[in-house]
Amino acid sequence: KAGVTQTPRYLIKTRGQQVTLSCSPISGHRSVSWYQQTPGQGLQFLFEYFSETQRNKGNFPGRFSGRQFSNSRSEMNVSTLELGDSALYLCASSLQGRGSGYTFGSGTRLTVV
């Protein structure tokens, strides 16, 4: 079956702009979570959605937001981009999000110039 699909793979944006990233989970998986990976901070949790509800949120500013649709697809949005937002953004899906393994997508590499 198809894995976790993230689009786009690469993105270049200018400071001050906003960006929307998309994640389609494995069919049947209702939990979607997002992570940011940077060389300095490593992999950090952004937020997790289950059945269109945000269940947990990491320690990121309000410029980072997300949502989940009824088909479990999720989007994350970053507004007023800063240079420090340049990172690899990874999405993971899980069957239930509790006591289940996570499967990751290929990621979106965002560069802010």
Partner 1 sequence: GIQVEQSPPDLILQEGANSTLRCNFSDSVNNLQWFHQNPWGQLINLFYIPSGTKQNGRLSATTVATERYSLLYISSSQTTDSGVYFCAVDQGAQKLVFGQGTRLTINP
Binding-site ranges for partner 1 (CB under 8 A): 31, 33, 35, 37, 42-45, 48, 50, 55-56, 58, 88, 90, 92, 97-107, 109
Using alpha carbons, list the distances in angstroms from residue 104 to 14, 36, 97: 27, 12, 13
Least distance CB 42 / partner 1 (angstroms):
5
- Tokens standing for 31? 């939990």
Least distance CB 50 / partner 1 (angstroms):
7
Asked if 39 contacts 88 with a C-beta cutoff of 8 angstroms, the reply is no
Q: Which residue, 16 or 97, has its beta carbon nearer to partner 1?
A: 97
Q: Which residue, 9 or 15, has its beta carbon nearer to partner 1?
A: 9
Q: Which residue, 16 or 56, has its beta carbon nearer to partner 1?
A: 56
Least distance CB 26 / partner 1 (angstroms):
12
- Tokens standing for 13? 């944006």
Q: Which residue, 6 or 19, has its beta carbon nearer to partner 1?
A: 6
